[in-house]
């Protein structure tokens, strides 16, 4: 059975007839076989309804202000529906107007003016949009069916804080929508408003999607996904291709209006991907939110902000440290249904930020019993989000450096570890967001200090691999800053006659894919990025030196020259794939793996410095952090406490003494203790200590994991950071072979066909300050790439590893393994 796709349209995606038209097209093109449509009120409608409900209190003719909005609905009906259908729908509208008049009257009379009544008032906006949408879809030939969202979504009735009852919602939604879907009808629902006036339909879509185990929840809006900042403030904001649920939730909560904050939870619980798309540009990829996070180390993904925040400070020298004080404090906020966003404590005070201030006078009155209270209105929260924050010290310093002349009021590193949040004066928030975006997310736009060489290949003239390698080395491309080299190569290859496409794997970090025009059967692939620092090129006659000489740039040059030789021989089914971020998290390779041309390709030759040998195996990798805790205490009395550092050293000694697995093919498991940290003073028993380990695997990861866990036992916590299993690669008669200990992008390029790994240069040189490659070896690399492609095409391939299934045939062994 195919699972449904929930297609949700926001107010701006159904604002007028043209928008409704587009929405119909999107249901057809993106809704799959079983679409479920959720639609918001037309843009402006919910706010207008709530305003009308508010004025109804004063007895004014509340509905007059709504007439232009009703008229907008009528126009859509007249333009897109048949005369008969339009008349039918306008009767529906009249019924709504009648019932709104009735409600307004009740509000005016003060009969029962609870929040439930306001919710009911506002719900008409969603109801009208959904019945209209259903009629429009029917006019386009769909079998659409309006369903009242309240028949599916069941909530508690504590307005305005109604909470959905999940189990019941699930049963009801399946019961209401299942039968319609089974007979090929498209349910069309409005959002449910009780939870949140604006944006409640995002949440409704998520609840419906979760209830139906949808394969995807699509949020269609007026921007291409979640952007790196609010586009109304930062013109340079760009789409973030992928977010984790945690990141998306933080961004939504802290003001990225594009997604309602409650949307993520139901989707995350049910493991359903959420896609945010642009209804004005339906083919833009937008943002995909899933459990998996792309980690962009040393950088952040987005900056959200929320205005109109109030800070409440409670000072109490006497009580603060006392048991129960904080609970009493939070109790006050909870009783008044007021959420607290950011909290910071000092020795004598607690500061909290709140958005909702309706209950503030009562809250302040109650807080006065706990201490001295100060209220500071007109503040704004700024929230910097990225899974990379977890692992990257130093970002906070960069953040506060960029705004060092601005007064920062409250700082908190979120418990989720994916955000850094602080409060500034509302008047300064635009400046803060703009500056932080420039400092953290526009790095690739900063001018590079090194001039990019202008030399172009001359058509027809043979390329000089050494000269090209030097040109490439001289363009800095440290991970994160690959845009300049990608642009250079795009121009260079275009001049040679290739068809070149750049596609962002992360904002401002493009992968490059070039073909001759024909569908590629073999792709030569390596990475654009290098480790820091940048080192310019140098030619001493025998060697070319500089950053990336072995690891990236030399290989790029060798592959391009080889491709030119093959093309000159008439071999056109060749592609060049150059990816970002290999040195960090392989973002580029993972994005490239989703490339639509990947499945057409049979072989991918990945270039890494293997000393011109064909690598038939790569060891795997396992990174883990060990964390020990001690009890602290004065170091003069070590017997009275336990030191976390002592504990850690015992474990590390045991790990070093252990015998780790050895494999006939891959060799020995090795491990490195890369980082050790802990303690605060020489005269204090350390209460925390940690070590980061990196294993090179030759067996299934579980073998090492179990052994590690047995040795560590309950002496430390183990956090696994990443795992790559060992891989067997494709062999080829006539090539010298080896097994390499390092991991590469190969593991992430499974869709591109059988993987091969070969390149000039030595990994022992790579990443060093004296990185260099012999010119003869570079030229040899060109010959080998040409030969390897020719052999593959001639069908000499001896094994085809399948990295995905793990069913690996024995590698080709003639000549043995090095």
Q: Choose the stretch contacting Mg ion; rule: CB under 5 A; options: 5-13, 62-70, 479-487, 537-545.
A: 5-13
The Cα 651–Cα 628 span in angstroms is: 10
Closest CA to 127 of 182, 84, 191: 191
**CB of residue 260 vs Mg ion: minimum separation in angstroms?**
6
7 vs 685 by CB, closer to Mg ion = 7
**CB of residue 304 vs ligand ADP: minimum separation in angstroms?**
6
Residue 799: contacted member of Mg ion, ligand ADP, none (CB under 5 to 8 Å, by partner type): none
Torsion sign, CA atoms 414, 418, 422, 427: negative
- Contacts with ligand ADP, residue ranges (CB under 6 A): 10-13, 40, 43, 199, 221-223, 226-227, 229-232, 256-258, 302, 304
Kindly list the distances between the CA atom of residue 661 and the CA atoms of 664, 702, 711, 775, in Å, as whole numbers in the listed order: 10, 11, 14, 39
Query: How many other C-beta atoms can be found within 10 angstroms of the C-beta atom of residue 627?
Result: 16
Q: Are 512 and 556 in contact (CB under 8 A)?
A: no
278 vs 526 by CB, closer to ligand ADP = 278
41 vs 615 by CB, closer to ligand ADP = 41
The Cα 228–Cα 231 span in angstroms is: 8
299 vs 625 by CB, closer to ligand ADP = 299
**CB of residue 553 vs ligand ADP: minimum separation in angstroms?**
36
Site for Mg ion, residues 574 to 613, rule: CB under 5 A: none
The Cα 689–Cα 677 span in angstroms is: 6
Q: Are 607 and 782 in contact (CB under 8 A)?
A: no
31 vs 199 by CB, closer to Mg ion = 199
Residue 223: contacted member of Mg ion, ligand ADP, none (CB under 5 to 8 Å, by partner type): ligand ADP
**CB of residue 265 vs Mg ion: minimum separation in angstroms?**
16
Q: Are 268 and 15 in contact (CB under 8 A)?
A: no
Query: How many other C-beta atoms can be found within 10 angstroms of the C-beta atom of residue 675?
Result: 11
Residue with tokens 């550092």: 645
Run of H or E including 377: strand 372-385
**CB of residue 12 vs Mg ion: minimum separation in angstroms?**
8
Residue showing the smallest CB distance to Mg ion in the complex: 199
**CB of residue 258 vs ligand ADP: minimum separation in angstroms?**
4
**CB of residue 239 vs Mg ion: minimum separation in angstroms?**
17
Residue 493: contacted member of ligand ADP, Mg ion, none (CB under 5 to 8 Å, by partner type): none
**CB of residue 546 vs ligand ADP: minimum separation in angstroms?**
39
What is the number of helices (H) and of strands (E) in the chain? 20, 32
Residue showing the smallest CB distance to ligand ADP in the complex: 10
222 vs 442 by CB, closer to ligand ADP = 222
**CB of residue 804 vs ligand ADP: minimum separation in angstroms?**
34
Question: Could you tell me whether strands 35-39 and 5-9 are parallel, antiparallel, or unpaired per DSSP bridges?
Answer: parallel
Run of H or E including 754: strand 754-757
385 vs 558 by CB, closer to ligand ADP = 385
Written as six digits, the tokens of 43 are 């843009």
Closest CA to 356 of 387, 383, 377: 377
Interface characters, 171-210, with Mg ion (x: CB under 5 A): ----------------------------x-----------
437 vs 775 by CB, closer to ligand ADP = 437
How many residues sit in the footprint of Mg ion (CB under 5 A)?
A: 2
Do you know the residue count of the chain?
A: 818
Residue 227: contacted member of ligand ADP, Mg ion, none (CB under 5 to 8 Å, by partner type): ligand ADP
Phi, psi (rounded to 5 degrees) for 736:
-65, 140
Interface characters, 7-26, with Mg ion (x: CB under 5 A): ---x----------------
**CB of residue 397 vs ligand ADP: minimum separation in angstroms?**
24
Closest CA to 308 of 411, 414, 429: 429
Q: Are 773 and 607 in contact (CB under 8 A)?
A: no
73 vs 748 by CB, closer to ligand ADP = 73
Run of H or E including 514: strand 509-515
432 vs 601 by CB, closer to ligand ADP = 432
Residues in the site for Mg ion, rule: CB under 5 A?
Answer: 10, 199
């Amino acid at each position: 059975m195919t699972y449904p796709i929930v297609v949700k349209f926001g107010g701006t995606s159904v604002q007028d007839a043209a928008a409704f038209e587009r929405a119909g097209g999107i249901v057809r093109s993106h809704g799959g076989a079983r679409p479920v449509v959720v639609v918001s009120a037309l843009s402006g409608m919910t706010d207008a309804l709530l305003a009308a409900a508010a004025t109804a209190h004063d007895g004014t003719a509340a509905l007059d202000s709504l007439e232009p909005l009703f008229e907008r609905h009528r126009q859509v009906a007249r333009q897109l529906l048949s005369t008969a259908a339009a008349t039918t729908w306008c009767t529906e509208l009249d019924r709504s107007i009648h019932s709104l008049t009735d409600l307004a009257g009740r509000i005016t009379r003060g009969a029962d003016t609870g929040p439930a009544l306001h919710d009911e008032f506002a719900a008409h906006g969603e109801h009208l949009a959904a019945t209209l949408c259903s009629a429009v879809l029917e006019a386009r030939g769909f079998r659409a069916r309006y369903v009242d969202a309240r028949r599916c979504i069941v909530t508690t009735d504590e307005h305005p804080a109604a909470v959905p009852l999940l189990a019941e919602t699930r049963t009801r939604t399946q019961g209401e929508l299942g039968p319609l879907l089974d007979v090929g009808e498209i349910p069309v629902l409005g959002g449910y408003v009780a939870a949140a006036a604006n944006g409640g339909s995002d949440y409704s879509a998520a609840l419906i999607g979760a209830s139906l185990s949808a394969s995807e929840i699509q949020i269609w809006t007026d921007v291409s996904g979640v952007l790196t900042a609010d586009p109304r403030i930062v013109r340079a904001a760009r789409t973030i291709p992928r977010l984790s649920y945690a990141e998306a939730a933080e961004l939504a909560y802290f003001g990225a209006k594009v997604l309602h904050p409650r949307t993520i939870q139901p989707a995350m619980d049910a493991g359903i991907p959420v896609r945010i798309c642009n209804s004005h540009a339906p083919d833009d990829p937008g943002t995909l939110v899933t459990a998996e996070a792309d980690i962009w180390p040393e950088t952040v993904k987005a900056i959200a902000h929320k205005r109109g925040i109030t800070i409440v400070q409670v000072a109490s020298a006497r009580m603060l440290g006392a048991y129960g004080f904080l609970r009493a404090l939070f109790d006050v906020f909870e009783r008044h249904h007021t959420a607290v966003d950011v909290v910071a404590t000092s020795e004598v005070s607690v500061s909290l930020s709140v958005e909702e201030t309706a209950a503030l006078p009562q809250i302040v009155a109650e807080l006065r019993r706990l201490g001295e209270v100060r209220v500071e209105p007109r503040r704004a929260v700024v929230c910097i989000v990225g899974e990379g924050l977890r692992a990257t010290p130093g970002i906070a310093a960069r953040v506060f450096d960029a705004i060092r002349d601005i007064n920062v009021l409250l700082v908190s590193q979120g418990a989720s570890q994916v955000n850094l949040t602080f409060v500034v004066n509302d008047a300064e928030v635009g400046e803060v967001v703009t500056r932080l975006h420039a400092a953290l997310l526009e790095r690739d736009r900063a001018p590079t200090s090194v001039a990019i060489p202008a030399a172009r290949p001359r058509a027809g003239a043979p390329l000089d691999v050494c000269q090209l390698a030097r040109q490439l080395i001289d363009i800095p491309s440290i991970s994160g800053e690959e845009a300049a080299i990608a642009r250079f190569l795009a121009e260079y290859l275009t001049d040679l006659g290739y068809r070149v496409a750049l596609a962002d794997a992360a904002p401002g970090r493009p992968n490059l894919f070039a073909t001759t025009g024909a569908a590629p059967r073999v792709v030569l692939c390596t990475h654009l990025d290098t480790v820091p620092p940048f080192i310019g090129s140098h030619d001493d006659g025998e060697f070319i030196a500089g950053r990336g000489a072995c690891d990236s740039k030399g290989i790029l040059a060798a592959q391009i020259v080889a491709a030119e030789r093959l093309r000159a021989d008439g071999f056109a089914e060749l592609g060049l794939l150059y990816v970002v971020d290999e040195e960090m998290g392989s973002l580029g390779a993972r994005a490239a793996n989703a490339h639509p041309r990947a499945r057409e390709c049979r072989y991918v030759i990945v270039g890494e410095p293997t000393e011109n040998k064909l690598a038939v195996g790569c060891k795997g990798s396992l990174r883990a952090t060990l964390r020990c805790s001690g009890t602290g205490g004065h170091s003069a009395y070590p017997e009275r406490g336990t030191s976390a550092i002592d504990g850690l050293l015992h474990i590390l000694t045991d790990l070093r003494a252990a015998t780790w697995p050895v494999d006939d093919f891959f060799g020995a498991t090795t491990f490195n203790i890369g980082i050790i940290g802990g303690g605060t003073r020489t005269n204090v028993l350390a209460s925390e200590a940690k070590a980061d380990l990196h294993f090179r695997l030759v067996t299934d990861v579980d073998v090492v994991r179990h052994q590690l866990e047995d040795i560590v036992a309950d002496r430390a916590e183990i956090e696994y950071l990443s795992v790559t299993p060992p891989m067997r690669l494709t062999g080829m008669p006539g090539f010298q072979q080896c097994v390499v200990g390092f991991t590469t992008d190969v593991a992430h390029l499974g869709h591109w066909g059988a993987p091969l790994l070969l390149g000039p240069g030595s990994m022992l040189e790579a990443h060093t300050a004296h990185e260099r490659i012999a010119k003869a070896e570079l030229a040899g690399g060109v010959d080998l790439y040409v030969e390897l492609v020719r052999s593959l095409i001639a069908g000499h391939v001896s094994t085809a590893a399948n990295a995905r299934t793990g069913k690996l045939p024995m590698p080709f062994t003639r000549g043995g393994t090095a």
